[in-house]
């Protein structure tokens, strides 16, 4: 366990500044796969510097399709890379052992593997059935032009298949069963395919992508709306008159997490798209919505729930089912950490209620991060409310937003790194 901790505090006053966010991790990882599949016809601008993207880029650059021996590929904790590479490696020549961190070996992948095997892919489980690591014999012979896949577990399974679909001998049609989770991420994948000249047909729960070639094109990655959400939380918890400018973000975005604009309007955060970015300002919070369906933007859950807790807002949430199979069980992690200052997150038949009646303000609060970047960044803005907030394992933010702590200091937060001798 990393025993470093970070003390985060805020000296007071309004928050002001400009925060230049990294490129979207979600867009970047899709772009890397498309660039690889197109053999470089698709070029990328403003690629994210998030650990997950750096990992995926390094893996793709190091692959040797002429190698005779099995190549071991370790994605570490990079979930998107695991899903996308499972599909990608199946389509290219070679023998691969695809593995990851211990937590990655606990994250299910059977639905994607079953879908790929149903069209001819040669994939075996090296350890536990349904979970990484995977033994992949690439360059499979396609046996079916269609696949049936559940849509209510992870949209990344669908995106992994859609990214490779046009490059298969017969293309691929996805027949999606159940409710589609995180639909904006599927739309993002299809929009990015379209930008490279690859068309599709989407009718009801059926998405068809014919065999096609990618054209010479440039994918310019937009800044990351998921990362922007933490700054929305900062402004929501700041005094009146606070404002930040986030360059490069678009009102009409491919990213589902743009929903943070509408969610945080309920907490007194006004967004104005201007000067090729968005200005966010703290205004008087009205009687806004207190029931949120996050099915299409589950990565915002930790940000919004912790913000409600800090503001003392009782609220209810749906669409959180996928949080239990992320970097950690995010529901349990939130319940544990919110309890440290008297806030409850209660589950009632897939509806989750934030209850703040017992909320306290301890002199110092230590937040465990569970090897989860979003736990660290979702709780950090609470330093505006608490006298001292201590974040365990602060380096975990590198997974999606390496400059996060630096950006916090740029707008006036005070940070103090410590090394804890206790590892319990």
Angle at the Cα of 185 from the Cα atoms of 265 and 252, rounded to 5 degrees: 50
What percent of the chain is modeled with pLDDT above 90? 88
**Using CA atoms, how far apart are residues 308 and 266, in angstroms rounded to an integer?**
11
Copy the structure tokens of residue 24: 């979207």
Q: Is the pLDDT of residue 371 over 70?
A: yes
- Structure confidence at residue 423 (pLDDT): 38
Please report which confidence band the pLDDT of residue 130 belongs to, taking 50, 70 and 90 as the band edges.
Answer: very high
Task: Tell the burial category of 349 from Cβ atoms under 10 Å away from its Cβ (0-12, 13-18, 19+).
Answer: exposed
pLDDT average, residue stretch 286-308: 91
pLDDT average, residue stretch 190-218: 97
Copy the structure tokens of residue 177: 């069963």
Please report which confidence band the pLDDT of residue 420 belongs to, taking 50, 70 and 90 as the band edges.
Answer: low
The answer to which of 61-65, 171-175, 208-212 has the lowest mean pLDDT is 61-65
Q: Is the pLDDT of residue 133 over 90?
A: yes
Out of 51, 224, 257, 299, pick the active-site residue: 299
- Beta bridge partners, 277, equal 247, 274
Angle at the Cα of 168 from the Cα atoms of 165 and 170, rounded to 5 degrees: 100
- Structure confidence at residue 422 (pLDDT): 43
Q: Is the pLDDT of residue 288 over 80?
A: no
Please report which confidence band the pLDDT of residue 182 belongs to, taking 50, 70 and 90 as the band edges.
Answer: confident
- Structure confidence at residue 324 (pLDDT): 79
Catalytic residue check, 299: yes
Domain boundaries for CATH 3.65.10.10 within the chain? 4-23+222-419, 25-220
**Using CA atoms, how far apart are residues 323 and 182, in angstroms rounded to an integer?**
12
- Structure confidence at residue 67 (pLDDT): 87
- Give the residue among 402, 404, 408, 405 at the shortest CA–CA distance from 53: 402
What percent of the chain is modeled with pLDDT above 70? 98
Rounded to 5 degrees, φ, ψ at 146 are -130, 155
The answer to which of 182-191, 360-369, 378-387, 411-420 has the lowest mean pLDDT is 411-420
Residue 288 or residue 92, greater confidence: 92
Q: Is the pLDDT of residue 418 over 90?
A: no
CATH for 25-220, options being 3.40.50.880, 3.30.750.200, 1.10.260.40, 3.65.10.10 = 3.65.10.10
- Domain 4-23+222-419, CATH homologous superfamily name and number: Enolpyruvate transferase domain (3.65.10.10)
pLDDT average, residue stretch 90-113: 96
Q: Is the pLDDT of residue 171 over 90?
A: yes
Mean pLDDT of the chain: 94
- Structure confidence at residue 150 (pLDDT): 93
Q: Is the pLDDT of residue 421 over 50?
A: no
- Structure confidence at residue 325 (pLDDT): 73
The set of residues, in sequence order, having a beta carbon less than 8 Å from that of 204 and lying 6+ positions away, is none
* Cβ count near 422 (within 10 Å): 5
pLDDT average, residue stretch 237-242: 96
- Structure confidence at residue 286 (pLDDT): 67
């Amino acid at each position: 366990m990393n025993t470093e901790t970070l003390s985060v505090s805020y000296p007071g006053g309004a928050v002001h500044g400009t925060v230049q966010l990294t490129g979207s991790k979600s867009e970047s990882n899709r772009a890397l796969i498309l660039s690889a599949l197109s053999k470089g016809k698709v070029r990328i601008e403003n690629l994210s510097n998030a650990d997950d993207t750096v990992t995926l880029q390094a893996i793709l650059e190091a692959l040797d399709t002429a190698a005779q021996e099995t190549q071991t590929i370790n994605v570490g904790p990079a979930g998107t890379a695991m899903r996308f590479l499972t599909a990608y490696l199946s389509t290219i020549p070679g023998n691969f052992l695809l593995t990851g961190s211990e937590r990655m070996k606990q994250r299910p992948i059977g639905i994607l593997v079953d879908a790929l095997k149903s069209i001819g892919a040669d994939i075996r489980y090296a350890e536990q059935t349904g979970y990484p690591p995977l033994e992949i014999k690439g360059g499979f012979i396609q046996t079916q032009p269609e696949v049936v896949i559940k849509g209510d577990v992870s949209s990344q399974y669908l995106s992994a298949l859609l990214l490779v679909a046009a490059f298969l001998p017969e293309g691929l049609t996805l027949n999606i069963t159940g409710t589609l989770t995180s639909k904006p991420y599927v739309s993002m994948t299809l929009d990015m395919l379209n930008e490279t000249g690859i068309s599709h047909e989407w009718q009801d729960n059926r998405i068809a992508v014919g065999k096609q070639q990618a054209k010479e094109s440039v994918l310019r990655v937009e800044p990351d709306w998921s990362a922007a959400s933490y700054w929305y939380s900062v402004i929501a918890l700041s005094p009146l008159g606070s404002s930040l400018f986030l360059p490069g973000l678009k009102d009409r975005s491919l990213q589902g997490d743009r929903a943070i604009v509408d969610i945080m309007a309920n907490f007194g955060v006004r967004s104005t798209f201007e000067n090729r970015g968005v200005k966010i300002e703290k205004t008087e919070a009205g009687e806004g919505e207190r029931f949120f369906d996050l099915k299409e933007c589950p990565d915002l859950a930790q940000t919004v729930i912790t913000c409600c807790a800090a503001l003392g807002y009782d609220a209810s949430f749906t669409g959180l089912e996928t949080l239990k199979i992320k970097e950690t069980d995010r529901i349990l992690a939130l319940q544990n950490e919110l309890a440290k200052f008297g806030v409850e997150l209660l589950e009632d038949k897939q509806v989750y209620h934030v209850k703040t009646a017992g909320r306290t303000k301890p002199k110092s609060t230590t937040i465990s991060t569970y090897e989860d970047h979003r736990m660290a960044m979702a709780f950090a803005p609470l330093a505006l409310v608490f006298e001292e907030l201590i974040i365990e394992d602060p380096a975990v933010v590198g997974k999606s937003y390496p400059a996060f702590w630096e950006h916090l200091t740029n707008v006036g937060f005070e940070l103090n790194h410590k090394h804890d001798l206790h590892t319990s």
